[in-house]
Chain A
Amino acid sequence: AQSVTQLDSHVSVSEGTPVLLRCNYSSSYSPSLFWYVQHPNKGLQLLLKYTSAATLVKGINGFEAEFKKSETSFHLTKPSAHMSDAAEYFCVVGPFQKLVFGTGTRLLVSP
């Protein structure tokens, strides 16, 4: 069975400060892991995916995530937040056809 837990429902940061969105997963198999972003009234866009080639994954818009098998975590980070990063972020696990979504973390960015 697979599951994913996003540890924070809301994260607030100031523009220019680092972003950390936390995700823990559970999977009976070697997991496929993804982060998606959803801006208001928009569809979901892929930020990055873990391919097992490297534990540190770089995505779009300066985001990164680090796969830590020992901690079953896949936290999303960005060194410096921008106002345009305000959105909802979903951590996703799924080695087979189905993808299992976390409940989402809403990122708020203040000036």
Chain B
Amino acid sequence: DVKVTQSSRYLVKRTGEKVFLECVQDMDHENMFWYRQDPGLGLRLIYFSYDVKMKEKGDIPEGYSVSREKKERFSLILESASTNQTSMYLCASRLNRGLANTEAFFGQGTRLTVV
């Protein structure tokens, strides 16, 4: 059974802290993604990675960075957490077959609260 695992379901951090969200997939997928989910806004792409050490900005990258040192692991970093980064964070992975219709697989999400 395919699996995308996020290291925490719930996190509470203080303003200004550096925060690491970890995601691991066991499907040997090339593509990995970090989304942020907020009510009424759907899922918005923060960053994605199409290979080890490769990354591209999504629609809302400000205040975030990412790291992909190994194919199976994709980390999201909040350099200095702020209250407006309180949200649900979802990691996903997807097989790269060019234009083919491969679906993304999602983790359970991390609900981050910044106080």
Q: Are B43 and A90 in contact (CB under 8 A)?
A: yes
Which residue of chain B has its CB nearest to the CB of A104? B42
A44-B90, A97-B94 known; A103+B41 contact, CB < 8 A? yes
30 residue pairs bridging A and B, Cβ less than 8 Å apart: A9-B40, A29-B99, A32-B100, A32-B102, A34-B101, A34-B103, A42-B108, A43-B107, A43-B109, A44-B92, A44-B106, A45-B106, A49-B101, A51-B101, A90-B43, A95-B99, A96-B99, A97-B48, A98-B33, A98-B48, A99-B33, A99-B92, A99-B94, A99-B104, A101-B35, A101-B43, A102-B42, A103-B40, A104-B40, A104-B42
Q: Which residues of B contact A70 (CB under 8 A)?
A: none
Number of A-B contacts (CB under 8 A): 56
B61 contacts chain A at the CB level, 8 A cutoff: no
B78 contacts chain A at the CB level, 8 A cutoff: no
Q: Which residues of B contact A52 (CB under 8 A)?
A: 101
Within 8 A of A (CB), among B69-104: 90, 92, 94, 96, 99-104
Within 8 A of B (CB), among A8-62: 9, 29-30, 32-34, 36, 42-46, 49-52
The count of residues in chain A whose C-beta lies closer than 8 Å to any C-beta of chain B is 27
The count of residues in chain B whose C-beta lies closer than 8 Å to any C-beta of chain A is 26
Per the bound structure, the CA–CA distance linking A50 and B92 in Å amounts to 19
Q: Which residues of B contact A29 (CB under 8 A)?
A: 99
B27 contacts chain A at the CB level, 8 A cutoff: no
User: Which one of A45, A51, A97, A101 contacts B31 once the chains associate, using CB atoms below 8 Å?
Assistant: A97
